[in-house]
Amino acid sequence: MSFRATEKPGLERFTDGSHEEYKAIQEALVAGIVIVAAAGNQGGASKLNTTNPPGALGGIISVASHDDHFVRSKFSSQGGELDFMAPGETFSTYARGVPYFVGYDSNGELMYRPARCYEALRGTSMACPLIAGLAALLVQAGRSRPRCMSPVLTERLEHSDFKARNCYEVRELLRSFADRPEEHHRKDGHGALSAIYRFVKTKVSDAQLTVAEA
């Protein structure tokens, strides 16, 4: 499961036992469901803990954003609950909206952006699904060992005490792929999973990663 960050209510109200989303998350964790949440986009220059719920909850996997150089995005929230970073800048994604005026064409006619098109977006909500997808692959690999699984992942699972049976074990497996598996910083958790990102880039061309405007 993948969650976006929630600015309101605050963490205190979110965890007071009355918030329905908090109850659902706790029940899911008890059931062994892996939950990945975006950390939020309130980073800036603040040195405070700006991670938003549910990403601020300790029992789930919290994801920050990094740029193409594996440096934490300036907008990305920070805090002690952060686990990992993933690419979260300049994603082409489908956006729905109301057409709006953008100028005039060469004939003097009004020009509007279409109501449905692709836009370049950024945020921890862009980074979060990447980690959620990787977590899902780990869960599948821990159960069925598909033939298409990479030799590196196969060896890692065979020599690990963690079999991706719950959120804690998936986090520990992901940590083994992180840039700093033994170090944790409040700004970016255990860092990026750059080895996996570089591997994907060698298998998928830039043309396939880029979505042309509709």
pLDDT in tens, 66-104: 998 889 999 999 988 999 999 988 776 766 666 666 777
Q: What is the pLDDT of residues 134-170, one digit of tens each?
A: 888 888 877 766 565 667 667 777 777 778 889 999 9
Average pLDDT of the segment spanning 96-122: 72
Contact (CB, 8 A) for 141 and 133? no
Does 129 sit behind a cis peptide bond, omega within 30 degrees of 0 on the bond before it?
Answer: no
Q: What is the dihedral of CA 43, 123, 26, 14, to 10 degrees?
A: 50
Domain ranges of the chain: 2-90+120-209
Angle between helix axes 151-158 and 124-144 (nearest 10 degrees) is 70
The arrangement of secondary structure in 2-90+120-209, i.e. its CATH architecture, is 3-Layer(aba) Sandwich (3.40)
Residue of 85 and 197 predicted with greater confidence: 85
Task: Give yes or no for a cis peptide into 87 (omega within 30° of 0).
Answer: no
pTM, rounded to two decimals: 0.76
What is the Cα–Cα distance from 192 to 131, expressed in whole angstroms?
Answer: 10
Q: Which of 192, 193, 188, 191 is nearest to 79 (CA)?
A: 188
pLDDT at residue 108, as a whole number: 80
- Cα–Cα distance between 44 and 5 in angstroms, integer? 16
Q: Alpha-carbon distance 106 to 193, whole Å?
A: 47
